[in-house]
Amino acid sequence: MFLFWKKCFDGDGEDINYDKITLDHINKYILSHSKSASLGHTKLLITALRSFFTYLYSRGIIANNIALSIPKIAFWRLSSLPKSLKPDQVEKMLKSCDLKTHIGQRDHAILLLLARLGLRACEIVSMRLEDIDWESGLILIRGKGSREDYLPIPHDVGEAIAQYLKNVRPKCAVRNVFVRIIAPYQGFSSSVAIRDIVDNALTRANIQSIRRGAHLLRHSLAVRMLQNGASLREIGEILRHNSQTTTEIYAKVDLKALHSLAQKWPVVGGAI
Protein backbone atom coordinates (compact mmCIF):
# COMPACT_ATOMS: atom_id res chain seq x y z
CA MET A 1 0.00 0.00 0.00
CA PHE A 2 2.96 2.29 0.60
CA LEU A 3 3.93 2.03 -3.09
CA PHE A 4 0.36 2.89 -4.07
CA TRP A 5 0.36 5.95 -1.81
CA LYS A 6 3.78 7.09 -3.05
CA LYS A 7 2.69 6.63 -6.68
CA CYS A 8 -0.48 8.69 -6.14
CA PHE A 9 0.77 11.41 -3.81
CA ASP A 10 4.57 11.11 -3.70
CA GLY A 11 4.27 10.73 0.07
CA ASP A 12 6.40 8.93 2.61
CA GLY A 13 3.64 6.57 3.78
CA GLU A 14 3.26 8.16 7.24
CA ASP A 15 -0.09 9.47 8.56
CA ILE A 16 -1.93 8.45 5.41
CA ASN A 17 -5.36 10.02 4.97
CA TYR A 18 -7.10 7.32 2.98
CA ASP A 19 -10.16 9.49 2.40
CA LYS A 20 -8.00 11.54 0.02
CA ILE A 21 -7.72 8.57 -2.33
CA THR A 22 -10.18 8.79 -5.22
CA LEU A 23 -11.27 6.31 -7.85
CA ASP A 24 -9.25 8.28 -10.38
CA HIS A 25 -6.08 7.66 -8.32
CA ILE A 26 -6.82 3.94 -8.19
CA ASN A 27 -7.54 3.65 -11.91
CA LYS A 28 -4.36 5.50 -12.85
CA TYR A 29 -2.32 3.27 -10.55
CA ILE A 30 -3.82 0.10 -12.03
CA LEU A 31 -3.21 1.30 -15.60
CA SER A 32 0.38 2.24 -14.77
CA HIS A 33 1.03 -1.12 -13.11
CA SER A 34 -0.58 -3.17 -15.89
CA LYS A 35 1.87 -1.89 -18.51
CA SER A 36 4.60 -4.15 -17.15
CA ALA A 37 2.51 -6.87 -15.49
CA SER A 38 0.63 -9.89 -16.76
CA LEU A 39 -3.16 -10.01 -16.90
CA GLY A 40 -3.25 -12.48 -14.03
CA HIS A 41 -1.01 -10.32 -11.86
CA THR A 42 -3.16 -7.26 -12.57
CA LYS A 43 -6.25 -9.21 -11.49
CA LEU A 44 -4.52 -10.07 -8.22
CA LEU A 45 -3.66 -6.40 -7.70
CA ILE A 46 -7.31 -5.38 -8.19
CA THR A 47 -8.46 -8.08 -5.77
CA ALA A 48 -5.93 -6.86 -3.20
CA LEU A 49 -7.03 -3.23 -3.58
CA ARG A 50 -10.70 -4.17 -3.21
CA SER A 51 -10.01 -6.22 -0.11
CA PHE A 52 -7.91 -3.44 1.41
CA PHE A 53 -10.48 -0.68 0.91
CA THR A 54 -13.29 -2.97 2.08
CA TYR A 55 -11.29 -3.53 5.26
CA LEU A 56 -10.76 0.23 5.73
CA TYR A 57 -14.49 0.82 5.31
CA SER A 58 -15.43 -1.94 7.76
CA ARG A 59 -13.12 -0.40 10.38
CA GLY A 60 -14.56 3.07 9.83
CA ILE A 61 -11.26 4.44 8.53
CA ILE A 62 -12.89 5.69 5.30
CA ALA A 63 -16.38 7.13 4.95
CA ASN A 64 -17.30 5.46 1.66
CA ASN A 65 -16.52 1.96 0.43
CA ILE A 66 -14.60 2.88 -2.70
CA ALA A 67 -13.91 -0.82 -3.29
CA LEU A 68 -17.38 -1.14 -4.83
CA SER A 69 -16.32 1.24 -7.62
CA ILE A 70 -13.00 -0.39 -8.52
CA PRO A 71 -13.61 -1.87 -11.99
CA LYS A 72 -13.19 -5.54 -12.76
CA ILE A 73 -10.78 -6.63 -15.45
CA ALA A 74 -12.08 -8.71 -18.35
CA PHE A 75 -10.49 -12.13 -18.63
CA TRP A 76 -11.50 -14.70 -21.24
CA ARG A 77 -9.98 -18.13 -21.61
CA LEU A 78 -7.68 -18.38 -24.65
CA SER A 79 -8.04 -14.62 -25.21
CA SER A 80 -4.31 -14.02 -25.69
CA LEU A 81 -1.87 -15.33 -28.25
CA PRO A 82 0.97 -17.54 -27.00
CA LYS A 83 4.28 -15.65 -27.09
CA SER A 84 6.87 -17.47 -29.18
CA LEU A 85 10.17 -17.05 -30.99
CA LYS A 86 10.92 -17.62 -34.65
CA PRO A 87 13.03 -20.71 -35.43
CA ASP A 88 16.09 -18.60 -36.27
CA GLN A 89 15.77 -16.79 -32.94
CA VAL A 90 15.70 -20.11 -31.08
CA GLU A 91 18.88 -21.20 -32.85
CA LYS A 92 20.48 -17.84 -32.10
CA MET A 93 19.74 -18.39 -28.42
CA LEU A 94 21.33 -21.83 -28.50
CA LYS A 95 24.43 -20.51 -30.24
CA SER A 96 24.81 -17.77 -27.63
CA CYS A 97 26.12 -20.32 -25.10
CA ASP A 98 29.90 -20.31 -24.72
CA LEU A 99 30.73 -24.00 -25.12
CA LYS A 100 34.29 -23.35 -23.96
CA THR A 101 33.00 -22.86 -20.41
CA HIS A 102 31.39 -25.35 -18.04
CA ILE A 103 28.39 -23.12 -17.44
CA GLY A 104 27.96 -22.62 -21.18
CA GLN A 105 27.90 -26.37 -21.84
CA ARG A 106 25.44 -27.02 -19.02
CA ASP A 107 23.11 -24.21 -20.07
CA HIS A 108 23.31 -25.30 -23.71
CA ALA A 109 22.07 -28.78 -22.76
CA ILE A 110 19.24 -27.27 -20.72
CA LEU A 111 18.18 -24.91 -23.51
CA LEU A 112 18.18 -27.78 -26.01
CA LEU A 113 15.83 -29.78 -23.77
CA LEU A 114 13.51 -26.79 -23.57
CA ALA A 115 13.65 -26.02 -27.28
CA ARG A 116 13.49 -29.54 -28.74
CA LEU A 117 11.19 -31.29 -26.24
CA GLY A 118 9.23 -28.35 -24.83
CA LEU A 119 9.96 -29.28 -21.23
CA ARG A 120 8.75 -27.20 -18.32
CA ALA A 121 11.29 -25.58 -16.01
CA CYS A 122 10.21 -27.78 -13.10
CA GLU A 123 10.82 -30.88 -15.24
CA ILE A 124 14.41 -29.81 -15.84
CA VAL A 125 14.92 -29.21 -12.13
CA SER A 126 13.53 -32.62 -11.13
CA MET A 127 15.33 -34.63 -13.86
CA ARG A 128 17.50 -37.41 -12.38
CA LEU A 129 20.41 -39.41 -13.76
CA GLU A 130 18.41 -42.65 -13.77
CA ASP A 131 15.70 -41.01 -15.89
CA ILE A 132 17.90 -41.24 -19.00
CA ASP A 133 17.86 -44.61 -20.77
CA TRP A 134 20.80 -44.34 -23.14
CA GLU A 135 20.27 -47.80 -24.67
CA SER A 136 16.71 -47.13 -25.76
CA GLY A 137 17.26 -43.42 -26.41
CA LEU A 138 14.42 -42.39 -24.10
CA ILE A 139 14.15 -39.95 -21.24
CA LEU A 140 11.62 -40.09 -18.41
CA ILE A 141 9.84 -36.79 -17.83
CA ARG A 142 8.25 -36.24 -14.43
CA GLY A 143 5.47 -33.79 -15.19
CA LYS A 144 2.53 -32.17 -13.46
CA GLY A 145 0.37 -34.17 -11.10
CA SER A 146 2.90 -37.01 -10.75
CA ARG A 147 2.50 -37.75 -14.46
CA GLU A 148 5.39 -39.64 -16.05
CA ASP A 149 6.11 -39.90 -19.77
CA TYR A 150 8.95 -41.25 -21.88
CA LEU A 151 10.12 -39.07 -24.74
CA PRO A 152 12.69 -39.88 -27.44
CA ILE A 153 15.96 -38.02 -27.08
CA PRO A 154 16.83 -36.01 -30.23
CA HIS A 155 20.41 -36.52 -31.41
CA ASP A 156 21.65 -33.00 -30.62
CA VAL A 157 20.01 -33.10 -27.18
CA GLY A 158 21.57 -36.46 -26.34
CA GLU A 159 24.98 -35.29 -27.54
CA ALA A 160 24.81 -32.12 -25.43
CA ILE A 161 23.72 -34.00 -22.29
CA ALA A 162 26.41 -36.65 -22.80
CA GLN A 163 29.15 -34.05 -23.16
CA TYR A 164 27.90 -32.23 -20.07
CA LEU A 165 27.82 -35.41 -17.97
CA LYS A 166 31.23 -36.53 -19.21
CA ASN A 167 33.17 -33.28 -19.07
CA VAL A 168 31.32 -30.77 -16.92
CA ARG A 169 29.04 -32.15 -14.21
CA PRO A 170 30.85 -32.17 -10.85
CA LYS A 171 31.17 -35.46 -9.01
CA CYS A 172 28.65 -35.25 -6.19
CA ALA A 173 26.15 -37.33 -4.24
CA VAL A 174 23.00 -35.68 -5.63
CA ARG A 175 21.16 -37.51 -8.41
CA ASN A 176 19.89 -34.44 -10.25
CA VAL A 177 21.11 -34.32 -13.84
CA PHE A 178 21.73 -30.58 -13.70
CA VAL A 179 23.58 -29.15 -10.72
CA ARG A 180 25.40 -26.01 -9.74
CA ILE A 181 28.85 -25.67 -11.31
CA ILE A 182 30.22 -23.89 -8.25
CA ALA A 183 30.26 -25.53 -4.80
CA PRO A 184 28.13 -26.51 -3.02
CA TYR A 185 27.32 -28.96 -5.81
CA GLN A 186 23.58 -29.44 -5.60
CA GLY A 187 20.52 -29.39 -7.79
CA PHE A 188 18.68 -26.19 -8.59
CA SER A 189 16.47 -25.12 -5.70
CA SER A 190 13.61 -23.94 -7.92
CA SER A 191 12.45 -23.22 -11.46
CA VAL A 192 13.72 -19.65 -11.12
CA ALA A 193 17.22 -20.89 -12.01
CA ILE A 194 15.93 -22.20 -15.36
CA ARG A 195 14.15 -18.93 -16.03
CA ASP A 196 17.41 -17.08 -15.41
CA ILE A 197 19.23 -19.35 -17.89
CA VAL A 198 16.65 -18.55 -20.57
CA ASP A 199 16.68 -14.86 -19.71
CA ASN A 200 20.47 -14.69 -19.93
CA ALA A 201 20.45 -16.46 -23.29
CA LEU A 202 17.90 -14.00 -24.67
CA THR A 203 20.06 -11.12 -23.48
CA ARG A 204 23.22 -12.57 -25.06
CA ALA A 205 21.35 -13.14 -28.33
CA ASN A 206 19.92 -9.59 -28.18
CA ILE A 207 16.35 -10.91 -28.49
CA GLN A 208 13.56 -8.74 -27.12
CA SER A 209 10.66 -10.65 -25.59
CA ILE A 210 8.04 -9.91 -22.94
CA ARG A 211 8.03 -13.55 -21.84
CA ARG A 212 11.51 -14.65 -20.80
CA GLY A 213 11.08 -18.03 -19.13
CA ALA A 214 11.10 -21.69 -20.11
CA HIS A 215 7.53 -21.51 -21.44
CA LEU A 216 8.71 -19.18 -24.21
CA LEU A 217 10.62 -22.08 -25.77
CA ARG A 218 7.74 -24.47 -25.05
CA HIS A 219 5.36 -22.20 -26.96
CA SER A 220 7.91 -21.74 -29.74
CA LEU A 221 8.13 -25.51 -30.25
CA ALA A 222 4.35 -25.83 -30.43
CA VAL A 223 4.01 -23.00 -32.96
CA ARG A 224 6.80 -24.43 -35.13
CA MET A 225 5.17 -27.89 -35.07
CA LEU A 226 1.84 -26.37 -36.09
CA GLN A 227 3.43 -24.44 -38.95
CA ASN A 228 5.09 -27.66 -40.13
CA GLY A 229 1.75 -29.44 -40.37
CA ALA A 230 1.40 -31.15 -36.98
CA SER A 231 -2.11 -31.55 -35.60
CA LEU A 232 -3.24 -30.14 -32.27
CA ARG A 233 -3.47 -33.70 -30.97
CA GLU A 234 0.17 -34.35 -31.88
CA ILE A 235 1.26 -31.11 -30.25
CA GLY A 236 -0.68 -32.00 -27.11
CA GLU A 237 1.08 -35.37 -26.96
CA ILE A 238 4.55 -33.81 -27.20
CA LEU A 239 3.73 -31.13 -24.63
CA ARG A 240 1.96 -33.77 -22.50
CA HIS A 241 -1.19 -31.76 -21.95
CA ASN A 242 -3.78 -33.51 -19.80
CA SER A 243 -6.62 -31.91 -21.74
CA GLN A 244 -6.97 -31.03 -25.42
CA THR A 245 -8.51 -27.70 -24.45
CA THR A 246 -5.08 -26.63 -23.19
CA THR A 247 -3.68 -27.13 -26.69
CA GLU A 248 -6.51 -25.25 -28.42
CA ILE A 249 -4.84 -21.87 -27.92
CA TYR A 250 -2.31 -22.76 -30.63
CA ALA A 251 -5.10 -22.92 -33.21
CA LYS A 252 -5.14 -19.11 -33.06
CA VAL A 253 -1.63 -18.86 -34.49
CA ASP A 254 -2.36 -21.13 -37.48
CA LEU A 255 -2.93 -18.22 -39.87
CA LYS A 256 -3.24 -20.42 -42.96
CA ALA A 257 -6.09 -22.41 -41.46
CA LEU A 258 -7.76 -19.26 -40.13
CA HIS A 259 -7.47 -17.61 -43.55
CA SER A 260 -9.55 -20.39 -45.11
CA LEU A 261 -12.33 -19.64 -42.61
CA ALA A 262 -12.35 -15.88 -43.17
CA GLN A 263 -15.55 -14.39 -44.57
CA LYS A 264 -15.87 -11.22 -46.61
CA TRP A 265 -17.34 -8.31 -44.70
CA PRO A 266 -21.05 -8.03 -45.65
CA VAL A 267 -21.98 -4.95 -47.67
CA VAL A 268 -25.51 -3.58 -47.30
CA GLY A 269 -27.11 -2.15 -50.42
CA GLY A 270 -23.90 -2.35 -52.42
CA ALA A 271 -22.38 0.61 -50.58
CA ILE A 272 -19.18 0.63 -48.58
Catalytic residue among 50, 106, 108, 218: 218
**What HEC string does the chain produce?**
CHHHHHHHHCCCCCCCCHHHCCHHHHHHHHHHHHCCCCHHHHHHHHHHHHHHHHHHHHCCCCCCCHHHHCCCCCCCCCCCCCCCCCHHHHHHHHHCCCCCCHHHHHHHHHHHHHHHHCCCHHHHHHCEHHHEECCCCEEEEECHHHCEEEEECCHHHHHHHHHHHHHCCCCCCCCECCECCCCCCCECCCCHHHHHHHHHHHHHCCCCCCCCCHHHHHHHHHHHHHHCCCCHHHHHHHHCCCCHHHHHHHHHHCHHHHHHHCCCCCCCCCCC
- End-to-end alpha-carbon separation of the chain, Å? 52
Tell me, yes or no, if 204 is annotated catalytic: no
Q: Is 128 a catalytic residue?
A: no
Catalytic status, residue 72: no
- Determine the Cα–Cα distance for residues 54 and 144; give it in Å rounded to an integer: 37
Helix orientation angle between 192-204 and 214-227, rounded to the nearest 10 degrees: 70
**Of the residues 215, 219, 224, 240, which is catalytic?**
215
Catalytic residue among 108, 120, 212, 224: 120
Judge whether 185 counts as a catalytic residue: no
Active-site annotation holds for 55: no
Is 50 a catalytic site residue?
Answer: no
Q: Which candidate in 6, 144, 155, 233 is catalytic?
A: 144
Active site amino acids: 120, 144, 215, 218, 241, 250
